[in-house]
């Protein structure tokens, strides 16, 4: 039985750009004048000073989801995955088409989804249950399971505005998974949690689908998690369905079309998260000669080069993290400047950093790089750009002439071998 029916779904946005004299104000008088003029701009700005850009976040999306199915949704950043979930969650209305849903739906789209920041964790559990149409006695029966799964018992009577992002996600997932919605929508938000919690969540989603017949729709860049949980996957590209079918086949199609030459990226308008006090401007992969490159062999050296810029007037040291994952989403390494005994010092203007990696020992595969800036002391997140660069390890290089097929491992080691005489 189809529990979700999506037919010809589309979502359109308009972006209006001001041109000519309405740009680049530099003094106080002009700024105040511009603010007043914006009140009347719709009626007074001539057509020559306006440019309206039409953007379809989704277009012609049609597919059905059966009760008890576990569906993966994959695609690049900005492809329309979260927009689809927002429409299904009734957060936003579609421009065209329809989505018919049978049963209660619970969605986890971003950190703290559905929580009231001023309420405690305990109060938010009951509020979310009420929103799902559950009676207090029903919530009481699930309460201990929710608290135990989330691991936030110590902070249960603390307002969630004081929770870390990880605590928020743990409680939000526990609530969504245990309060018995027929349909559970989970976006990339699980990536905020640690590896152990992610594994726990995947196990829970699998069990509620198999044992209780609930339907799961799961958006993730972690292709290993998609492959593990979902039998069926939808690939979305630029708002359209590019492929739908058996998970392994769809993932292979996606990977075959990923641009492996992604060794430079302008990050000015790149999709990101964070408070924005510091932002990445560009990032690049360079080979040992300093040239942009994305194809390497075992044993090669390369550098990751990037620039960061603070907002005007902000001056402070930062913490920078570089994460590398495999093509299927398996984490390989998490490199933080302080782990290498390197301090950025006070960053008070555009600053470029180069991180050199020597004698790379990764097995052949495509690897993806994510970048993050945080406060040096509080670890508050300023900027986070996921999978902004990629590189290929293509062969054994100077390490070995034998064929190294994908899937044999992640790190290639060359230990010392010797015979030992029996005593």
Per-residue pLDDT tens digits for 130-158: 877 778 888 899 899 989 988 888 999 99
What is the structure's pLDDT at 38? Answer: 61
What is the structure's pLDDT at 344? Answer: 94
Backbone angles phi, psi at 216, to 5 degrees: -120, 130
Q: Please give the Cα distance from 250 to 211 (Å, whole number).
A: 26
What is the structure's pLDDT at 277? Answer: 94
Instruction: Return the DSSP state at 316.
Output: B
Give residue 138's region: left, alpha or beta (phi > 0; psi -120 to 50): alpha
Classify burial at 373, counting beta carbons within 10 Å of its beta carbon; exposed 0-12, middle 13-18, buried 19 or more.
buried
* pLDDT higher than threshold 80 for residue 210: yes
Binning pLDDT at 50, 70 and 90, where does residue 21 land? Answer: very low
Q: Please give the Cα distance from 282 to 219 (Å, whole number).
A: 27
Q: Where are the alpha helices (DSSP H) in 243-355?
A: 247-257
What is the structure's pLDDT at 26? Answer: 47
**Nearest CA to 310 among 277, 275, 356?**
277
Helix (H) / strand (E) containing 387: strand 381-395
Percent of the chain with pLDDT over 90: 40
Give residue 173's region: left, alpha or beta (phi > 0; psi -120 to 50): alpha
For residue 384, what are its two tokens?
A: 């986070």
What is the structure's pLDDT at 407? Answer: 73
Sign of the CA dihedral 411, 414, 415, 421? positive
Residue for token pair 């999506």: 6
* pLDDT higher than threshold 80 for residue 196: no
* pLDDT higher than threshold 90 for residue 232: yes
Q: Please give the Cα distance from 237 to 81 (Å, whole number).
A: 9
Give the model confidence (pLDDT) of 387-403 as tens digits. Answer: 999 998 888 877 887 77
Give the model confidence (pLDDT) of 319-360 as tens digits. Answer: 999 999 998 888 999 999 999 999 999 999 999 999 999 999
* Whether the model pTM is above 0.75: no
Give the count of beta carbons closer than 10 Å to the beta carbon of residue 12: 14
What is the structure's pLDDT at 19? Answer: 47
408-413 long-range contacts, CB within 8 A, separation 24+:
408/363, 409/363, 410/326, 410/330, 410/332, 410/362, 410/363, 410/365, 411/332, 411/361, 411/362, 411/363, 412/298, 412/361, 412/362, 412/363, 413/361
For residue 387, what are its two tokens?
A: 């999978």
Task: Determine which of 15-19, 183-187, 195-199, 294-298 has the lowest per-residue pLDDT on average.
Answer: 15-19
Task: Determine which of 129-143, 183-197, 202-216, 359-373 has the lowest per-residue pLDDT on average.
Answer: 183-197
Q: Please give the Cα distance from 360 to 335 (Å, whole number).
A: 14
Q: Do residues 218 and 72 make contact, with C-beta atoms less than 8 angstroms apart?
A: yes
Q: Do residues 2 and 65 make contact, with C-beta atoms less than 8 angstroms apart?
A: yes
Instruction: Compute the mean pLDDT over every residue in the chain, rounded to the nearest whole number.
Output: 84
What is the structure's pLDDT at 338? Answer: 93
Residue partners of 19: CB distance under 8 A and separation at least 6: 48, 49, 50, 51
Helix (H) / strand (E) containing 206: helix 195-212
Q: Which residue has the higher pLDDT, 359 or 37?
A: 359
Q: Please give the Cα distance from 252 to 257 (Å, whole number).
A: 9
Percent of the chain with pLDDT over 70: 87
Task: Determine which of 73-82, 267-276, 402-411 has the lowest per-residue pLDDT on average.
Answer: 402-411
Mean pLDDT value of segment 372-380: 91
Mean pLDDT value of segment 311-323: 94
Q: Where are the alpha helices (DSSP H) in 106-194?
A: 121-131, 136-150, 165-178
Domains plus CATH for the chain? 9-55 (no CATH), 58-257 (3.40.50.300), 264-395 (2.70.50.60)
Give the model confidence (pLDDT) of 46-78 as tens digits. Answer: 544 556 778 899 999 999 999 999 999 998 878
Mean pLDDT value of segment 240-261: 80
């Amino acid at each position: 039985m189809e529990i979700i029916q999506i037919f010809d779904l589309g979502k359109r946005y308009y972006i209006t750009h001001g041109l000519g004299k309405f740009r680049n104000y530099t003094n106080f008088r002009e700024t105040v004048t511009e603010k007043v003029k914006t009140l009347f701009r719709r009626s007074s700005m001539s057509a020559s000073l306006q440019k309206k850009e039409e953007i379809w976040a989704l277009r012609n999306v049609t597919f059905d989801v059966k009760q008890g199915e576990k569906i993966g949704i994959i695609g690049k950043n900005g492809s329309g995955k979260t927009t689809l979930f927002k429409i299904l969650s009734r957060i936003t209305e579609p421009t065209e088409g329809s989505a018919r849903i049978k049963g209660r739906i619970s969605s986890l789209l971003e950190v703290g989804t559905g929580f009231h920041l001023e309420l405690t964790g305990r109060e938010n559990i009951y509020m979310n249950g009420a929103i799902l149409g559950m009676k207090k006695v029903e919530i009481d029966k699930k309460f201990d399971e929710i608290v135990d799964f989330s691991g936030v018992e110590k902070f249960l009577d603390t307002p969630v505005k004081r929770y870390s992002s990880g605590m928020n996600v743990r409680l939000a997932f526990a609530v969504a998974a245990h309060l018995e919605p027929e349909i559970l929508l989970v976006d990339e938000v699980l990536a905020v949690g640690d590896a152990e919690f992610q594994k726990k969540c995947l196990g829970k989603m699998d069990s509620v689908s198999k044992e209780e017949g609930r339907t799961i729709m799961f958006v993730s860049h972690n292709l290993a998690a998609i492959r593990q949980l979902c039998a069926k996957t939808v690939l979305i590209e630029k708002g359209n369905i590019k492929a739908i079918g058996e998970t392994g086949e769809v993932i292979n199609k996606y990977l075959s079309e990923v641009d492996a030459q992604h060794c430079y990226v302008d990050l000015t308008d790149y999709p990101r998260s964070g408070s924005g006090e510091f932002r990445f401007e560009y990032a690049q992969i360079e080979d040992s000669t300093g040239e942009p490159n994305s194809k390497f062999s075992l044993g090669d050296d390369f550098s990751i080069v990037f620039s960061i810029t603070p907002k005007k007037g902000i001056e402070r040291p930062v913490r920078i993290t570089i994460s590398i994952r495999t093509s299927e989403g398996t984490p390989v390494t998490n490199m933080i400047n302080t782990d290498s005994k390197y301090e950025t010092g006070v960053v008070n203007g555009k600053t470029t950093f180069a991180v050199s990696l020597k004698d790379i020992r990764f097995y052949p595969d495509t690897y993806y790089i994510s970048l993050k800036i945080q406060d040096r002391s509080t670890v508050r997140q300023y900027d986070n750009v996921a999978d902004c660069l990629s590189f290929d390890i293509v062969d054994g290089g100077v390490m070995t002439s034998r064929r190294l097929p994908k899937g044999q491992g992640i790190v290639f080691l060359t230990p010392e071998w010797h015979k030992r005489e029996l005593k």
